[in-house]
Structure 1
Amino acid sequence: MLVFLCTIGTNVFSQTLQPGLAGMAPSKWLTIRNTHAPGKVYDFPGAGAKKFTHEEYFFRAWIPVVHSKRVTVLMGPNYRTEQFELKTPGENPISKMAGWNLRSYAMDINSFIKLDSTSWLVTTTNINKSGNLAELSLKQIPVNYTVSATFLRKKSVNKEIGFGAMINKSYKLTVLPVFVFNYNYADNAGIEMMLPKRIAWRRNLSPNDILYLKAESVTRTYYINSLSGDLPGVYRRVDVDMGISYNKKLGNFGGIDISAGYRKNLSSKLIDGAVPIKTSGLALTVDFYVQPPVFHRKR
């Protein structure tokens, strides 16, 4: 599964552990996420057009492994399960891709190395196995990985910028540049860019309420049983979610993040013979998160 950079130097774990501008979203230590994207239509040989809802659950926990004055290393085991929920009467031509059989087991490893008082080297690694476990065993699914390195510099109290590169190996090798730009142009507003993953305009409505207008890439790749040959085939889609997001912090322990908007599909590959008819439409995502605990060091 192609996993782009989700966070670089902003809110992976805690603002006390890494660079990041004031006013950004709270850190997410534990995350539970649910996504609904209805109205997807594919045409199948002998079965005709069928309508589906993409539904997904995601779980992740960040674990600090190293935390010193110069180096922070975090590990984030995570699990994703997804299904095509049939909405058209009749037999499901991809029944094995329903029932939460599309699953991903992954480990994220992020490190933050302080070079001086204004610059950091940020590295991210994602290792995963993603596939249709109704047709393949976990052992049959190849290991995918994404590795990135970014140089991040805080130009001022309200501005930080970064450059780097990312290498991904799933069903093919992909190399992409990374660009980071975070800028607070007002006390309660700013622009956040983490390309090629995300671009957003942020407005802090209160210390506990943040509103975003954003566009964010969503890429999923699962190995599935091929209809011909011995190697597993691939189900893959590349989407861009465009819409509004509201983050509500609930005290000092956690919060909720609700995103709604239009999911634009850029490419879609299902089983052999399936023809995409309608692959773009509405999408709704709800995050429940727990913030990292605060430990006070003895003086």
Structure 2
Amino acid sequence: MRTYLLAFSFLFIAQTLIAQVTDTAAVDDFDYSKFGDAAGVKRYATQKVLNQTPNRIVSLAYEYQAAFDMPGVPSFPNQTYRVNRIAGIRGQLNIPVVSNTKLIWQLGANYWRSGYAFESVNNVFISKLNANGMHTAGINTTIFKPLNEKNFLIFQASADVNGVFEKFSDVNSKALTVSATAIYGWKKSEQNMYGVGVARTYRAGQIIYVPVLLWNKTFNDQWGMELLLPARGHLRRNFSTSNILQLGYELEGNQYWMRTPSTNGQVFIQRGEFKPRVMWDKKLSGFFWLNVQAGFRYNWRFDVMNEYDARKDEKLFFRSALTNPFYFSVGINFVSP
């Protein structure tokens, strides 16, 4: 009886194994082409490299510049005025309007204030600057358009009103500046992308047209760089995906309108600043990140002109070789995933 049971068990197991092999062969012979060819799907380049700093959707920061001198201010004779500090809030908003593999389109708004505190204000120009500060408010748009898996286009444009405004009604067309950038690029890998283009910008305080180099590269898990020359450039150290230190610089600036009792009734302050700095980004919770900056504010340009977009010295009201203080900034950012 035991022999019959063993024989029956052997036959049952053998039949099961044969059925499994037959089923596997049937699966191997199945024609997947009926469902389409995955290799035929078109792929597109993404806008970032691995370990790059996250894109900011909402940003709110406070910046402080330490004391410095403002020489050469016309005051019969020219005088040097002491600025005890410049401080103010900076806010920025970037909202994705379209975000898919074929197109990323963002609309944004920004507001910056630089509040001046002078030791003495016995001068009309200094008094207005001390009482009202410099304001910048504007809108911007950015389009990232991948052409395929390796090539992409970037378009950026912004319009700002900038001025030493005593009241809201002071805002006028003479306070408006328009900037734009166009870049054609190559995405060589998930660690390396670069592009070249041209920009119209007021970052040096005066309207200029310059060639642009974009280069974002991740060397390994710890090191990378993020360049948008000549506007800014940083060497990046990733301690982790949520703890990033950067060393580099940014060039900032714009042209500011101011009402004066002079012959033309107005002047235009062309202000440009070169900022070598250390920048630390740290994830706090979820999509909220801390940003801390510390560095040196080097005066690139502080020219007060009698005409809009003036470039020649005969239109110069006065030029000040500002001395160069340390600065710091601290802010909270809501970032994209």
TM-score over 0.5 (shorter chain): yes
Given that 1:40 and 1:280 are in contact with CA atoms closer than 8 Å, whether structure 2 keeps it comes out as yes
Equivalent residue number for residue 33 of structure 1: 61
Structure 2 matches for 1:127-142, cutoff 5 A? 127-134=159-166, 137-139=170-172, 141-142=174-175
Equivalent residue number for residue 234 of structure 2: 200
What secondary structure is seen at the aligned counterpart in 2 of 1:29? strand
Structure 2 matches for 1:43-54, cutoff 5 A? 43=71, 44=73, 45=75, 48-52=79-83, 53-54=85-86
- Report the Cα offset of residue 172 of structure 1: 6.2
Q: Which has the higher contact order (CA 8 A, sep 6+)?
A: 1
Runs of 4+ in 1 over 4 A off after TM superposition: 89-93, 169-173, 270-275
TM-score (norm 2): 0.74
* TM-align CA RMSD: 2.6
Given that 2:155 and 2:180 are in contact with CA atoms closer than 8 Å, whether structure 1 keeps it comes out as yes
Please state which structure has a larger fraction of its residues in helix: 2
Corresponding residue to 1:264 among 298, 312, 323: 298
Q: For 1:50-76, what per-residue CA distance to the aligned partner results, in whole angstroms no more than 9, with x for missing partners?
A: 211222321111122223331221100
Q: Distance in 2 between matches of 1:164 and 1:48?
A: 43
Structure 2 matches for 1:1-299, cutoff 5 A? 18-43=46-71, 44=73, 45=75, 48-52=79-83, 53-86=85-118, 88=119, 91=122, 94-134=126-166, 137-139=170-172, 141-168=174-201, 173-230=207-264, 232-270=266-304, 276=320, 278-292=322-336
Identity %: 19
Q: For 1:66-87, what per-residue CA distance to the aligned partner results, in whole angstroms no more than 9, with x for missing partners?
A: 233312211001112222112x
Given that 1:210 and 1:248 are in contact with CA atoms closer than 8 Å, whether structure 2 keeps it comes out as yes
Given that 1:183 and 1:192 are in contact with CA atoms closer than 8 Å, whether structure 2 keeps it comes out as yes
Equivalent residue number for residue 12 of structure 1: none
TM-score (norm 1): 0.83
The gaps in structure 2 that reach 5 residues or longer are 1-44, 306-315
CA gap of 1:151–1:273, structure 2 versus 1, over 3 A, is: closer
Of 162-171 and 248-257, deviating more is 162-171
The gaps in structure 1 that reach 5 residues or longer are 1-16, 295-299
Given that 1:268 and 1:276 are in contact with CA atoms closer than 8 Å, whether structure 2 keeps it comes out as yes
How many residues were matched structurally?
Answer: 276
What secondary structure is seen at the aligned counterpart in 2 of 1:96? helix
